């Protein structure tokens, strides 16, 4: 699904190194967590995977297509990208927001949506546990509801790769748990779907998380299966302070290990 070889990204204006020597392979059906301190390069890495930018050096291949040798507009149609910064007109109902995922537009293109597309949008809302929101305007949806609606929107083109950029940002506990449950159901119901989730908190990871990559100062600090990577020792060395990691009932938690 994703292959990065010796990937580097530098800011042309200042020469600042944002990513350096990134080696990473993501397989079909895997569910990755992407973690690291602020400024580690997580968002830049996700932009590369979403074909939103090109590396300064090295090679990036997404869904079998190497960046620089493919029409990125066509490639993006096969990648679902969810960000809380997504612009959505306040008056659109949730069902219409999901429909716009079929055309990749902010405003709906009504002539492009046939009956099958409309039914698919309803089915996706149901799959994400929010079918009752179909007619609710975006402006009155909660943060957790918006996150699930945006995931439904990203799934409209039936992507095989779903990128989630801090989808839990500013969610309260019930909303966080609703979203975690929705992601767990997605993983169980769509075995071919690959997901990569940027988060700051281990508590936000669903139990279906299979792998993790830790970034520190633009370099891969650790990567591998979730059990191998989400450990107290590796989290401590990545974040630069003592961190104690525990796991219970398939869920992770992290706290300061300082006395």
55 and 183 in a single domain? The answer is yes
> What is the predicted pLDDT for the residue at 90?
93
Residue segments in the chain with a per-residue pLDDT below the cut of 50: none
96 and 154 in a single domain? The answer is yes
Query: What digits encode the pLDDT tens for the residues 39-69?
Result: 899 999 999 999 999 999 999 999 999 998 8
Label each residue of the chain as H, E or C.
Answer: CEEEEEEEEECCCCCCEEEEEEEEEECCCCEEEEECCCCCCHHHHHHHHCCCCCCCEEEEEECCEECCCCCHHHHHCCEEEEECCCCCCCCCEHHHHHHHHHCCCCCCCHHHCCHHHHHHHHHHHHHCCCHHHCCCEHHHCCHHHHHHHHHHHHCCCCCCEEEEECCCCCCCHHHHHHHHHHHHHHHHHCCCCEEEEECCCHHHCCCCCCEEEEEECCEEEEEEEHHHHCCHHHHHHHHCCCEEEEEECCEEEEEECCC
208 and 110 in a single domain? The answer is no
105 and 69 in a single domain? The answer is no
Give 95-101's long-range contacts (Cβ < 8 A, gap of 24+).
95/121, 95/122, 95/125, 95/134, 95/135, 97/138, 97/149, 97/150, 97/153, 98/124, 98/125, 98/149, 98/152, 98/153, 98/156, 99/156, 100/153, 101/152, 101/153, 101/154, 101/155, 101/156, 101/157
> What is the predicted pLDDT for the residue at 258?
72
Residue given tokens 């706290």 in the structure block: 255
57 and 129 in a single domain? The answer is no
Q: What is the CATH number of the domain that holds 31?
A: 3.40.50.300
196 and 153 in a single domain? The answer is no
164 and 193 in a single domain? The answer is yes
238 assigned to some structural domain? no
> What is the predicted pLDDT for the residue at 77?
85
14 assigned to some structural domain? yes
Length of the chain: 259
* β partners of residue 147: none
186 and 135 in a single domain? The answer is no
Q: Model pTM? A: 0.92
Give CA angle at 224 (222, 229), nearest 5°: 60
243 assigned to some structural domain? no
> What is the predicted pLDDT for the residue at 170?
83
131 and 72 in a single domain? The answer is no
64 and 95 in a single domain? The answer is no
17 and 139 in a single domain? The answer is no
Range of the domain at 127: 87-158
198 assigned to some structural domain? yes
240 assigned to some structural domain? no
> What is the predicted pLDDT for the residue at 16?
87
235 assigned to some structural domain? no
Q: Is the dihedral of CA 98, 104, 106, 108 positive or negative?
A: negative
259 assigned to some structural domain? no
> What is the predicted pLDDT for the residue at 259?
55
117 assigned to some structural domain? yes
68 and 133 in a single domain? The answer is no
Q: Domain count of the chain?
A: 2
């Amino acid at each position: 699904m994703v292959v990065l070889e010796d990937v580097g990204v530098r800011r042309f204006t200042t020469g600042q190194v944002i990513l350096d020597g990134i080696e990473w392979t993501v397989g079909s059906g895997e569910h990755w967590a992407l973690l690291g301190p602020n400024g580690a390069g997580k968002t830049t890495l996700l932009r590369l995977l979403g074909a939103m930018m090109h590396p300064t050096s090295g090679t990036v291949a997404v869904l079998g297509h190497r960046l620089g040798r493919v029409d990125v507009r066509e490639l993006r149609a096969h990648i679902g990208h969810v960000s809380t910064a997504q612009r959505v007109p306040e008056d659109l109902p949730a069902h219409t927001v999901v429909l716009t995922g079929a055309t990749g537009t902010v405003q709906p293109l009504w002539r492009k949506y046939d009956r099958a597309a409309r039914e698919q949008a309803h089915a996706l809302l149901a799959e994400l546990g929010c079918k009752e929101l179909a007619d609710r305007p975006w402006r009155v949806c909660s943060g957790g509801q918006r996150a699930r609606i945006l995931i439904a929107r990203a799934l409209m083109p039936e992507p095989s790769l779903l990128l989630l950029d801090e989808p839990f940002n500013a969610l309260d506990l019930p909303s966080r748990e609703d979203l975690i449950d929705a992601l767990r159901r997605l993983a169980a119901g769509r075995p071919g779907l690959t997901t990569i989730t940027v988060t700051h908190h281990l508590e936000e990871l669903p139990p279906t998380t299979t792998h993790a990559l830790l970034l520190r100062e633009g370099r891969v600090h650790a990567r591998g299966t979730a059990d191998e990577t989400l450990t107290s020792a590796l989290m401590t060395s990545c974040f630069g302070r003592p961190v104690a990691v525990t796991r219970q009932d398939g869920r992770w938690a992290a706290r300061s290990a300082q006395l």
